[in-house]
A and B are shown apart, each in its own frame.
Chain A
Amino acid sequence: MASLNPITGVLGKQKAAHLLRRATIGPRLQDITAFSQLNVDAAIAQLIQPQTPPNFPVDPNTGTTWIAPNLPDPMQMVDVWSGYTKSWWLETMRSSGPNLTERMVWFYHTHIPIILSRVSWSPQLAIDYLRLLRMHALGNYKDLVKAICIDNAMLIHLDGHLNVKGAPQENFGREFLELFTVGKGPEVSLGNYTHFTEQDVKALTKVLTGWTYDTTFQTLDPVTGIPCGKVKSGDGVLASQHDVSAKQFSSAFGGNTIVTAGASNGTCPISSVPSELSSVVDMVFNSVHTARHICRRLYRQFVYFDISAEIETDIIIPLANALLANNFDLIDVLSTLLKSEHFYDLDTLPTQDNNMGAIIKSPVEIIIGTMRLFDVQVPSVTTQLSQHYELFDQLQTQLDLQGLALFEPVDVAGYDPYFQVPVYHRYWISANYLANRYKFAELLVNGFTSPAGATIQLDVLSVVQGNASTPSDPDLLVQEIVEWLLPLTIDTARLTYFKNSLLLNNNSLNWSAEWAAFLGSGNDAVVRVQLEKLFIGMMQTPEYQLF
C-alpha cells in the first residue's frame, strides 16, 4: 500500500535531487550535493526555513518602485510595469535558495490564480497579490484564503467589488467554492454538486457583498500589513452595500445560517462585515471536502497527476484528516508527504508507486529550472537593470512559446495542466510547445543577448570544468551529466548513444586526447562544440522534460 511513513537515513544524491526538484523551482548542482548528506527531517527543516521577502522591483527609468507611497503617474506605463512585475517574479524564483517558498508561491498561483491584465491598470495590485502568496507560502491555508477574499487584485479579478446587496455578483462566490475550497462533487441533481449547491453560491455571494478595492493602498491587512480591500461605507461607520439578511446554506454545510452582527435598518457596522467573512470561511473549512480538495491539489503538484483509489485511501484521506486536525497548517501536512516512503517510491508492495521523474515540467521548470541547475547568471538588478529586464522579457517570450502565458491564464481556474482532465501535465506537450522547449536549450547555450550586449548564457564548458569529477573520462563525464539533467535511471544503450553520437561526434573523436589538448593549449574549440552538442542534445530529449 502507499505509505506516509517517513523514510530514514541519509538521503543520498538521487533522493535529494528528487526532493529538490519537486520542492523548489529546481535544484542547483551544489544544493543536490549539500542535501545528499542530510536525513529527510533535516532536509525538510531547511526547506521550510522562513525567507526574507525580495525587494520590490524598481523602474529603471525613475530608479524607484511603483509601490505606494511612490504611486506613479502616468498610467501609460502599466504594460511596462506588468512586464517588470513578471520579470521580478521570475528573478525571485531564479535567485531563491534551496527553499520551499517559491514552489509554494507557484503552487498557490496555479491554485488561486489572478489574470494580470485584469488588474494591471493599478500596477501595485499584482505585486501585492504575489506578496500575499509569499507571506502565507509556508503558513496556514485558511489564513491565506481569508486574506485572498479581500485582496485588492482578487476583488477586481473575480468582480467581488461589484457584488452589492440587491445586485449579487456570483463570480467570486462560485469560484471560491468550486476552485479554492470544497470543489465540485458529483452533480446529484440540478444545482446540487454534493459538496455545495446553487443555494450555497447565492448565500455565500450575499456574505461577500459590500467590499471594494482600495487603490490608494491605505487599507492594510492587520495581520500581514499588505494593502487590502475595504468595506464600502458612506460615513465610515456603517457598511453601505453589505447584504445584512440571514444567509441560509444547504445541508452541504449543515444547513448553517450566517447572520450579520449588529444589523439594523438594513445596514450594519463596518466591523461586522469582515467577521462575517471569517465565519463563512470557517464554515466552509469545516467541510471535509475543503481539506481533501487542497490535498489532491498538493498531491498533483508535488507527486503525480493521477489519484487512484489506492492513493485516495492511503494518502489523500489521511493527509486531509491531519489537515483538519491541525486547523489547516498545510506545510505540516506537506512535510509529511515529502518525507514519506510514497514520495520516494519506497512503499511496500503491492503498489503502483513509481513517482520519480513522472511529472512533465512546466515551462517555468524548463527555463528557470535549467538556469538554476547550472547557476546561469543574469545582468545585475542594481547595476544593469534595463538590460536585466530586456533579457527577462526574452525569457517571458520563451515561456509563451512553450505554452505558459505567465500570469495570464486563459481560465480563472488557472493553467490547464494543473486542473484539466484527463491528462493534466500532458497539456504542456503539444507539437509546438515541445519543439519550443527543445529550441530553448539551443538558445540558452547560444545565449540571449540584449541590444546593449548583456547576455544570459549557459556556458557548458565552465559547468563541466566547475563540476565534473573527471572531465577527461568520457564515460564518467556522460554519466555525471545524465545524473545532473535527467530524473531517471538511464540504460546503457542510451548512455552509449549520448557518448558516442553526441560527445564523440559519431565516435570520431578521442575525448581524453581532445580534453588534454584543450588543457594544454587553452584552445577550447573542439571540446566546447562537442559539449554543447551533448548538453543541447540531452536537453532535447523526452527524458529532460520530466522531473
Chain B
Amino acid sequence: MKRRDFVRLSSVLSSGMLLKFNGVPLYAFSEENILHQIAKNSLNDKILVLIELHGGNDGLNTIIPLNQYGLYYNNRANIAIPENGLRNYITLDPSLPDNRQVGLHPDMVAAKAMYDEGNMAVIQNVSYENMNGSHFRSRDVWMMGGGYNDYYNSGWMGRYLDYTYPGYPDNYPSVQYPDPLAIEMGTAVSLAFHRDQGIPAGLSIQDPVAFYNLIQGVGVDPPITLPDTHAGDEIEYIMQIEKQAHNYAERLKDVFEAGSNSNVVYPDLYPYIAPAGAKHNPLSPQLQVISRLISGGINTKIFVCRIGGFDTHANQVVNNNPTMGSHAALLYHISSAVKAFYDDLQNLGLDHRVLTMTFSEFGRRVASNASYGTDHGNAAPMLVFGTCINPGVFGNNPDLGNLQYGNVPMEFDYRQVFTSVMKDWFNASDEAIATVKFENFVESRIDYVECKTLSTTELFQENLSLHCYPNPTQEQLNVSYYLKQDAAVRIDLLDFSGRQIASITEPPSTMGSHEVVFDLSRLSQGTYLVRLFANDAVLMKKIILSH
C-alpha cells in the first residue's frame, strides 16, 4: 500500500496532468480546486489499451498446455500445433514449473521476444461463472463488468470514467481535461464505454485529421427547446454526440499533428498461407495512431482496438498444415503489431505508461470439429503486454482430462484481471472500484502490474535510487542505493509471488551512497525482487538468479 500511495502522489505531481499547463499560472484553476480533485480521483498518467478479439479466441492454439500435450493433441488432431518440426510451438519459458509450461503458437515469435524482455504475461483460464455460449451475451458481460445474471446499462469503463471525471459530459472538455476520456479505434462505441445515463464516455475515431475536417464541415444550430417525448430524448442524445465531436475534433487533430511515430515499421502482411481476407494486419494502423496520439501528449485513459475473425467454427487452419491459416494469421497480427507498438513507444520514451491486454468473449471447445474448426467454449487466456508488468504465466494449465461440458473451466473471473488495472495500474480508490462494481475482486486480483523501475521524475522527487548487479547473477547480488537524506531503511528479498525470503538487518540509513550484499547461493534459480523502503518511499528491482 505504501508504495502505491507513493507512486500515486508522485505521478499526480509529475504527470501530464500538470505539465500540460505550461505557461498557465496554476492559480487560474484555484476556484476549481484542481489539486483536491486530482487527489480525490487518483489520476495518474497511465494508459490502458484493450484489444478485443472479436468472435471468441481459440486459447488452446494460442497458449498450448505442454504438460498435457498428448490430451491436447488427441482432442484436436486436425488442428493441433505440432510438437516437432520446422513450425512447432514455441516454448515460452523453460524455467516455469511443469503445470505452467506453455507453448506459443509458432507465429507468435514477436510475443516470445517481448516475454524474453520481461514485457509479456499470460493469464490463464479467464472467464466468468456460468459462462454462456452466446457471443452477444458474453460480450455484454465482459463489457458491462458484471456476472452472468447481471444486466447493467453501463460498462465498467464507463462507470470508472464517470466516477473519475464527475459531471461528464457537461463540464468537458475543460482546460484540465482537454482530451476524450476514452477512444475506441474504428467508428462505433461499444457497451463498455456506456455510462448509466447519457452519451458514452468514449469517442470513436479512425484518422484524427480527417475526423476534424469532417466535423468542421457539417451541421447547423441545434434546437433550443426539446419536446418531452422519446423523440426529444433522442434529439438530446444526438446533440450531445454532436457537441462531443466538435469539442474533441480540434484537440485530437492538434495532438495527432504534434505527435509522431518513431521509425519502427508496423507489420502489414501475414507471411504464410491464409485466406486473402486474413492477410492484412488490422491492428497495426490502430496501434500506430494510438502511439502517435500519446506522443502528442494526449491524456486519454483508455483506448480500445478491435480485431475480428475469431469465430473459427470452420477452417481455422489450412488444409494439411495446422500451423497456418486464418487463426494463425490473427495471432501473428496481434503479436507482431503489439511488438511494433512497444518498440515504437520505447523509442518515444512512453512505454512505461502503457499497459496493453487482449480479451475475447470466450475461448473455444477443447475438441475440434470435423470442419477444421472449434465451437464455442469457455475459459481462455488473456495476454498482457507492457514494460510495467510482472512477466510470467498466472494460473495453471487447464486440466484437459477434467473438462466442463468439453470446455476449459474458469480459473480466474475476468473481473479479477480488470480489477488489477483499476487498482494497481490506475490507482483507483476503493470508492472508485466500488462504483465500478469490482469491490469483491480486490483481494483476489492478479498481480501482473508492476513497474520495474520508477520513472526518473519520480526518483528525482524522492531523491532515492536503487541498483542491483550483476543481473542476472549466479549467487551474489550487490545492492547499491543512494539516500539524499537520512531515512529509515529496509531492504527485502522477495520471491516472484511477493513472499519475503530474506532481509538485510539494519542497513545503512544515513545520507549518501551505500552497498549491501545478498547471498543467493542456496536459493533455487528464478526471478526475485529486491525491495527498498526509505521512509514511505519504496523501490523495487527484478533480478534473475541462474546457477
Give A308 to B214 CA distance when docked, in angstroms: 38
Q: Assess whether A493 is in contact with B136, with CB atoms less than 8 Å apart.
A: no
On chain B, the residues within 8 Å of A487 by CB distance are: 231
Give the tally of cross-chain contacts (CB within 8 A).
180
Q: Assess whether B225 is in contact with A491, with CB atoms less than 8 Å apart.
A: yes
Closest approach, in angstroms, between the C-beta of A467 and any C-beta of chain B? 22
Q: Assess whether B219 is in contact with A540, with CB atoms less than 8 Å apart.
A: yes
Given contacts A438-B219, A541-B222, A542-B234, contact A420 B149 (CB under 8 A): no
Given contacts A190-B130, A411-B135, A439-B217, contact A541 B245 (CB under 8 A): no
Question: Is A436 close to B, CB under 8 A?
Answer: yes
Residue of chain B at shortest CB distance from A435? B214
Give A491 to B154 CA distance when docked, in angstroms: 33
Contact with A along B113-154 (1 / 0, CB 8 A): 000000000000000001011111100100000001101111
Question: Is B194 close to A, CB under 8 A?
Answer: yes
A505-547, CB < 8 A from B: 537-538, 540-543, 545-546
Q: Assess whether A159 is in contact with B132, with CB atoms less than 8 Å apart.
A: no
Contact of B148 among A187, A304, A359 (CB under 8 A): A187
Give A501 to B314 CA distance when docked, in angstroms: 58
Question: Is B188 close to A, CB under 8 A?
Answer: yes
On chain A, the residues within 8 Å of B205 by CB distance are: 431-432
Q: Assess whether A162 is in contact with B376, with CB atoms less than 8 Å apart.
A: no
Q: Assess whether A537 is in contact with B220, with CB atoms less than 8 Å apart.
A: yes
Residue of chain A at shortest CB distance from B372? A162
Q: Assess whether A169 is in contact with B313, with CB atoms less than 8 Å apart.
A: yes
Q: Assess whether B313 is in contact with A171, with CB atoms less than 8 Å apart.
A: yes
Closest approach, in angstroms, between the C-beta of A415 and any C-beta of chain B? 10
User: Which one of B229, B249, B277 has the greatest number of beta carbons of chain A within 10 Å?
Assistant: B229
Given contacts A169-B375, A494-B224, contact A423 B194 (CB under 8 A): yes
Q: Assess whether B245 is in contact with A435, with CB atoms less than 8 Å apart.
A: yes
Closest approach, in angstroms, between the C-beta of B197 and any C-beta of chain A? 10
Closest approach, in angstroms, between the C-beta of A171 and any C-beta of chain B? 5
Count of chain B residues near A, Cβ 8 A: 64
Residue of chain B at shortest CB distance from A433? B187
Closest approach, in angstroms, between the C-beta of B510 and any C-beta of chain A? 58
Contact of A187 among B149, B203, B206, B308 (CB under 8 A): B149
Contact with B along A337-370 (1 / 0, CB 8 A): 0000000000000000011111110000000000
Question: Is B167 close to A, CB under 8 A?
Answer: no
Give A186 to B204 CA distance when docked, in angstroms: 32
Contact of B136 among A304, A360, A413 (CB under 8 A): A413
What would be 24 A-B contacts, judged by CB atoms less than 8 Å apart?
Answer: A162-B370, A184-B134, A186-B149, A191-B132, A357-B231, A358-B231, A358-B233, A410-B308, A420-B191, A421-B153, A422-B152, A427-B189, A430-B188, A432-B204, A432-B206, A439-B217, A439-B218, A488-B229, A489-B227, A493-B223, A541-B222, A542-B235, A546-B231, A546-B234
| Minimum-distance CB pairs A-B, first 8 | A431-B245, A358-B230, A167-B370, A438-B218, A542-B238, A162-B371, A354-B229, A357-B231
Residues on B facing A (Cβ under 8 Å): 54, 130, 132-137, 140, 148-149, 151-154, 187-189, 191, 194, 203-206, 211, 214-215, 217-225, 227, 229-231, 233-235, 237-239, 241-242, 244-245, 248-249, 277, 308, 311, 313-314, 369-371, 373, 375-376, 405
Q: What 19 additional pairs, Cβ within 8 angstroms, besides A358-B234, A537-B220?
A: A167-B369, A167-B370, A170-B375, A171-B313, A174-B134, A184-B137, A355-B230, A416-B188, A427-B188, A429-B237, A431-B241, A431-B242, A432-B211, A433-B188, A435-B219, A493-B223, A538-B220, A542-B239, A545-B234
